[in-house]
Amino acid sequence: MNRQWIYAVRPDGPVGVDNFEYRETDIPEPSEGQALARLCYLSFEPAMRTWLEDFITYMPPVPLGTPMLAPGVSQVVASNTPALKEGDLVSGMMSWQDYQVVGEQARVVPPGTPIPVMLGPLGGTGLTAYIGLFDIGRARPTDTVLTSGAAGATGSVAAQIARVKGCRSVGIAGGTEKCRWLLEEARLDGAIDYKNEDVDARLRELCPDGVDVYFDNVGGDMLETVMNHMAQGGRIASCGAISTYNQGMRRPGPSNMFQIIEKRLTIQGFVMFDHMDRVPDAIEDLGRWVAEEEIAFQTDIQEGFENIPTTFLRLFSGANQGKQLLKVREPE
Ligand SMILES: NC(=O)c1ccc[n+]([C@@H]2O[C@H](COP(=O)([O-])OP(=O)(O)OC[C@H]3O[C@@H](n4cnc5c(N)ncnc54)[C@H](OP(=O)(O)O)[C@@H]3O)[C@@H](O)[C@H]2O)c1
């Protein structure tokens, strides 16, 4: 039996459990050149909400009536290709079902790599933070770097590698515990609790000379507030806009766009997939910083196939403490 979570109903507003439907089907048969793999871990990313729209973003929309997609790791259980052997762990885009048919180009996980690390700081999450901060934000050691979503998967890496590089690093996150983590574990220079503090006033206090690099994970009203605090020649690395995803991304932009001209700002969006040539540098640096405990990383691992939709929703309430994963089973 192959358990599935199907994308059943297009959301009109916040995504909910009712947008997905549980089904059971036969186990698929891999063709020549393919392998059958059993799902072990799923990774969740807020932009998956944008894949539920009926327009193309950086990904084609997930078709209604098919299993929802997410990055993950599966284990090969039968193979019709010499490129993959039984027991291999493969990573990449998976679907919300027990059995995945994977092609011979599937990326094999190097033996011994812990899955949560591979899906976190040494995977797409770390790469996104690395590119956004250095290539897009062009952070220099004298800069003040501000990161929103700073206690989350991507933001926590971005904010800490800014600190490692000698920048003054300030993070914005929701809640006392997340801000405590930013100050005590991630060792940032400042933390702003946007759910309980006046962000505008706290930015004046913590970034008196302005923000040189804003690593933006949130978009929306927060972006508008931060734009008023950007320093001359500041750079905004637009990584994500989670505050707008549940509104179908049809929101107007900030009302203070003149700040871009007045302060000679650069705002640049980026998608990690376009920067795969940076993987070797990113893995080398991030691997060293993780091994030397220069950067702390939190992983939030939920369990159970039945909990896949509710785990996805945790990203939007902020219930996740760090990288949101779900374990369906440990590899054998
Ligand atoms: N450009 C790329 O290639 C790329 C790649 C990966 C991820 N991203 C983007 O990076 C961002 C972070 O993704 P992630 O995977 O690292 O997730 P994450 O930060 O681990 O989790 C999402 C966090 O967003 C915060 N949040 C939720 N709703 C919010 C709202 N309305 N206003 C402010 N904050 C809100 C919550 O933290 P609080 O408790 O602090 O509110 C939540 O924990 C997302 O925007 C994502 O789309 C971009």
69/133 same-domain check: no
Residues with CB under 6 A from ligand 1: 45-47, 128, 149, 151-155, 173-175, 178, 217-218, 239-243, 270-272, 315-316, 318, 320, 324
**DSSP-assigned beta bridge partners for residue 144:** 168
Say yes or no: 93 and 132 in one domain: no
* pLDDT at position 249: 59
Whole-angstrom distance, CA of residue 62 vs CA of residue 247: 18
153 alpha carbon to ligand 1 midpoint, in Å? 8
CB 296, CB 30: distance < 8 Å: no
Q: Are residues 276 and 128 in the same domain?
A: yes
Q: Identify the segments of the chain with pLDDT beneath 50.
A: none
Same domain, 152 and 190: yes
Nearest to 155 by CA among 111, 180, 188: 188
For a ligand 1 pocket test, name from 236, 313, 315 the mutation site with the most ligand atoms within 8 angstroms of its C-beta: 315
| Residues 310 and 271 grouped into a single domain | no
The domain that contains 255 carries what CATH number? Answer: 3.40.50.720
Atom number in ligand 1 closest to CA 271: 3
Residue 166 phi, psi dihedral angles, 5° rounding: 95, 5
Same domain membership, residue 164 and residue 19: no
Q: Structure tokens of 147?
A: 């990161």
Question: 3-class DSSP state for residue 2?
Answer: strand
Measured from the Cα of 240, ligand 1's closest atom is: 45
Same domain, yes or no, for 12 and 98? yes
User: Whose C-alpha lies nearest to ligand 1, atom 38?
Assistant: 174
Domain co-membership, 135 together with 259 = yes
Which residue out of 119, 154, 270, 298 has the highest number of ligand 1 atoms within 8 Å of its CB and is therefore the one to mutate? Answer: 154
Number of domains in the chain: 2
Same domain (yes/no): 12, 59: yes
pLDDT of residue 244: 93
Within the chain, strands assigned E span 2-7, 20-25, 34-43, 69-79, 89-95, 99-103, 107-108, 144-148, 168-173, 190-193, 211-216, 230-238, 266-269, 299-303, 323-327
Instruction: Among 242, 251, 276, say which to mutate for ligand 1: greatest number of ligand atoms within 8 Å of CB.
Output: 242
Alpha carbons within 13 angstroms on the beta-carbon side of residue 188 total: 32
Structure tokens at 148: 């929103």
Helix (H, G, I), strand (E, B), or coil: what is residue 7? strand
Do 70 and 192 lie in one domain? The reply is no
Q: Phi and psi at residue 131, in whole multiples of 5°?
A: -65, -45
Task: Provide the residue type at 17 as one letter.
Answer: V
332 domain-assigned: no
Do residues 232 and 314 share a domain? no
For residue 3, the CA-to-ligand 1 centroid distance in Å is 28
Query: Per this entry, what is the length of the chain?
Result: 332
* pLDDT for position 222: 97
* Residue-level pLDDT at 50: 93
Q: Each residue of 16-64: pLDDT tens digit?
A: 999 999 999 999 999 999 999 999 999 999 999 999 999 888 889 999 9
In a domain, 82, yes or no: yes
Q: Which of 135, 217, 301, 313 to mutate to test the pocket of ligand 1 (most atoms within 8 A of CB)?
A: 217
User: 33 lies in which domain range?
Assistant: 2-113+298-327
Quick one: 139 and 40 in the same domain? no
Asked if 296 contacts 321 with a C-beta cutoff of 8 angstroms, the reply is no
- DSSP state letters, 72-123: EEEEEEEESSTTS-TT-EEEEEEESBSEEEEETTPEEPPTT--HHHHHTTTS
**pLDDT at position 56:** 81
The answer to whether 281 and 250 are in contact (CB under 8 A) is no
